Amino acid sequence: MSLYGGIQHERISPSNLEQQLSHLKKMAQGANGTAFTYGDFTDSTEFDPQEKLLHTDGFGFYLRTEQGEYAKTFNRSVNSINNRLVTGCGDDQPMISMMHARLATKGSKDSRNLQPMPFSHIVGMHNGSLDGLESEGLSDSHYILSTINDYVGESTNSQKQISGLEQMLISKVVEKCTGYGAMNLMVYLKHTNQVLILCSYNEHDLHSQQHRQYYQMRISSDGKRVYVASESGNTPGQVLYTENHCLYVVDMTTGKIKKIPLPKLKEAIQKKKKDKKQSGQGSKAESGKKAEKGMKKTSQSDGKKSAKKKS
């Protein structure tokens, strides 16, 4: 996934959009330098560990211009998309461009789960996987982004929105999910012209260094435009690598980037992992007690039968 934003009065040119789309196609096909494989992410024998991780389950883009919004999704690979479908959207150059290539892990593969997802107050994209948030075919991504949209709509105070975001994510996402993999987000706040970049993943579930690298996003700026991507490449200016459990607030009016560590979110995720582990141990212990109890009953029953035979 990637986001291109113009600072102040700067706009995203057709050549910028072409570069962004080309970069996304390389990332989706595992041809962007680092070829991530299933073996980097899982030990499951259901997957070929040498096979590339391909994001070919759908493509979507969102453009914000002075005249309005333009969003479109496709139930096919981004590599089949003619670049003109994106670069030829109207005469007005966008101030914000968001693109996403999907690898379906939660929810159905229908168009409702394709990203970017535009809502009334935000447009968002999610990379990662959280268990237990899917509902009626809708993905974990849809739940997370719709929850953020509802939260943003509750207040017009942008500072209050940012300061309360960590606690909201803990109470409505972390505590509700049954398993926390990663929640990497790119969210455009329509009414404040800000971009939120959240990097958050469960370090205890990482299988390799490549797995960690997969969740590290890149934020770059040349003073005129900001480019954010889930992998390296197509980066104007100096590159900032995101850190785990940190929120980055990009003011698209001034170009300033503010980093906000989220220690409470980190603590909540660690607690979730610990509680799940203890619950699993408790279940095993309970199963062991039941099995032992069953064995005792069987032994007592066999003893009674033996006594009857002797008598």
Q: Do 246 and 259 touch, CB atoms closer than 8 A? A: yes
Tell me whether strands 257-261 and 96-101 are parallel, antiparallel or unpaired.
unpaired
Q: How many domains does the chain have?
A: 1
Q: Is residue 183 part of a domain?
A: yes
188 assigned to some structural domain: yes
Q: What is the CATH number of the domain that holds 189?
A: 3.60.20.10
pLDDT in tens, 148-207: 999 999 988 888 889 999 999 999 999 999 999 999 999 999 999 999 999 999 999 999
Q: Is residue 302 part of a domain?
A: no
Say if 244 falls within a structural domain. yes
Per the structure block, which two tokens stand in for 262? 């989220």
In this structure, is residue 155 part of a structural domain? Answer: yes
| pLDDT confidence band for 84 (50 / 70 / 90) | very high
List the domain range (segments joined by +) for residue 239. Answer: 2-268
pLDDT band at 287 (very low <50, low <70, confident <90, very high): low
Q: If you average pLDDT over every residue of the chain, what do you get?
A: 89
> Per the domain annotation, does 243 fall within a domain?
yes
In 3D space, the residue among 192, 201, 112, 209 whose CA is nearest the CA of residue 157 turns out to be 192
Q: Which two tokens stand for residue 98?
A: 């968001």
The radius of gyration computed from the CA coordinates of the chain, to the nearest angstrom, equals 24
Q: Is this structure's pTM higher than 0.75?
A: yes
Residue 274 has a pLDDT of: 79
Say if 128 falls within a structural domain. Answer: yes
Kindly report, residue by residue over 106-123, the tens digit of the pLDDT: 777 888 999 999 999 999
